[in-house]
């Protein structure tokens, strides 16, 4: 599919989605949200793809938020449709079989921070600035921020950040568990690729199972979540990758997973 505001590159089982509005610091407008939704759904169907990296074009930003120029004159209905489109895109990421790595080069604010919180792993360059500054614009977050942030960093910290709208640097974001790792900016691409390759070498059946179990399990009660784990665990024993993984261990060699 052709996209207007994003680029999609594919190499060795890894897809990279690049949000490509660098002059606007990759702000998310309706068209970009549509492109992202379509790209996630297209990649879902491409069985050669095992991992997705999501990043922003240019040196300054991952995503500097939802597009303020587009939002400014929205009426209630348009704002609802915009928020629903954003939620749908994020839900496609959460429900995808593919692990998503958000690579944060610069600003990840508002909608940008909400996108990374819906990815599976976040790696940030030391120059990253994250936050939910919506309150400074006279709005509250509209793409899951009030729900994702407390789930990731706890209610008290989430409320402090949402109520003040202050930005965090990469180190503080790491300390509170908003990003998984921080690396020097000149190593960001390389380290992200290394991480993606490592995950791409695992069983794609199991990367999908683990993502689904963590995402679903942490939103339901413990008893049901454990039952879900038993069900996924036992169904692994019908796969080639389980036989291969255990055989390879016993034969003291590297497994070759097929995603079957």
Instruction: Please give the residue ranges that form the binding site for ligand DAK (CB under 6 A).
Output: 24-25, 27, 64-69, 79, 82-83, 86, 107, 109-111, 133-134, 137, 139, 141-143
**Residue 172 C-beta: closest distance to ligand DAK, Å:** 17
| For ligand DAK, the closer CB: 107 or 209 | 107
| For ligand DAK, the closer CB: 69 or 223 | 69
| For ligand DAK, the closer CB: 137 or 212 | 137
| For ligand DAK, the closer CB: 15 or 108 | 108
* Phi, psi angles (nearest 5°) of residue 43: -65, -35
Q: How far apart are CA 242 and CA 235, in angstroms?
A: 10
**Mind giving me the DSSP string for 172-216?**
HHHHTTSSSEEE-GGGHHHHHHHHHHHHHTS-HHHHHHHHHHHHH
**Residue 74 C-beta: closest distance to ligand DAK, Å:** 7
* Of the candidates 246, 104, 75, the residue with the CA atom closest to the CA atom of residue 173: 104
**Residue 166 C-beta: closest distance to ligand DAK, Å:** 12
| For ligand DAK, the closer CB: 136 or 218 | 136
Q: Where are any strands of DSSP class E within the chain?
A: 6-11, 14-19, 51-56, 61-63, 100-104, 107-109, 121-125, 129-131, 168-169, 181-183
CB-closest chain residue to ligand DAK: 142
Q: How far apart are CA 238 and CA 36, in angstroms?
A: 34
**Residue 83 C-beta: closest distance to ligand DAK, Å:** 4
251 is catalytic: no
Q: How far apart are CA 39 and CA 33, in angstroms?
A: 10
134, 229, 244, 251: the active-site residue = 134
**Residue 144 C-beta: closest distance to ligand DAK, Å:** 9
Cα of 165 vs its chain's centroid, Å:
22
Q: Is there a contact between 127 and 157 (Cβ–Cβ < 8 Å)?
A: no
The radius of gyration of the chain from alpha carbons, rounded to an integer in Å, stands at: 19
12, 114, 229, 251: the active-site residue = 114
134 is catalytic: yes
* Phi, psi angles (nearest 5°) of residue 81: -65, -40
For the annotated catalytic residues, the residue numbers are 114, 134
């Amino acid at each position: 599919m052709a996209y207007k505001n994003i680029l999609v590159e594919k190499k060795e089982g890894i897809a990279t989605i690049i949000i490509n509005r660098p002059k606007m610091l990759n702000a998310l407008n309706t068209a970009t949200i549509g492109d992202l939704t379509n790209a996630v759904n297209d990649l879902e169907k491409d069985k050669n793809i095992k991992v997705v990296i999501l990043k922003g074009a240019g040196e300054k930003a991952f995503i500097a938020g939802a597009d303020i120029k587009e939002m400014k004159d929205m009426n209630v209905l348009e704002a609802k449709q915009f928020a629903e489109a954003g939620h749908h895109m994020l839900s496609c990421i959460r429900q995808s079989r593919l692990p998503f790595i958000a690579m944060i080069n610069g600003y990840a604010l508002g909608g940008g921070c909400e996108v990374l919180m819906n990815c599976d792993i976040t790696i940030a360059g030391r120059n990253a600035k994250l936050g939910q500054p919506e309150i400074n614009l006279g709005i509250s977050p509209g793409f899951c921020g009030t729900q994702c942030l407390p789930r990731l960093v706890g209610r008290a910290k989430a409320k402090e950040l949402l109520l003040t709208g202050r930005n965090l640097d990469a180190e503080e974001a790491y300390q509170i568990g908003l990003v998984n790792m921080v690396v020097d900016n000149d190593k960001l691409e390389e380290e992200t690729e290394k991480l993606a390759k490592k995950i791409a070498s695992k069983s794609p059946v199991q990367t999908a199972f683990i993502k689904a179990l963590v995402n679903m399990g942490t939103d339901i009660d413990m008893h049901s979540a454990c039952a879900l784990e038993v069900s996924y665990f036992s169904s692994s024993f019908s796969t080639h990758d389980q036989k291969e993984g255990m055989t390879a261990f016993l034969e003291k060699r590297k497994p070759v997973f097929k995603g079957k």
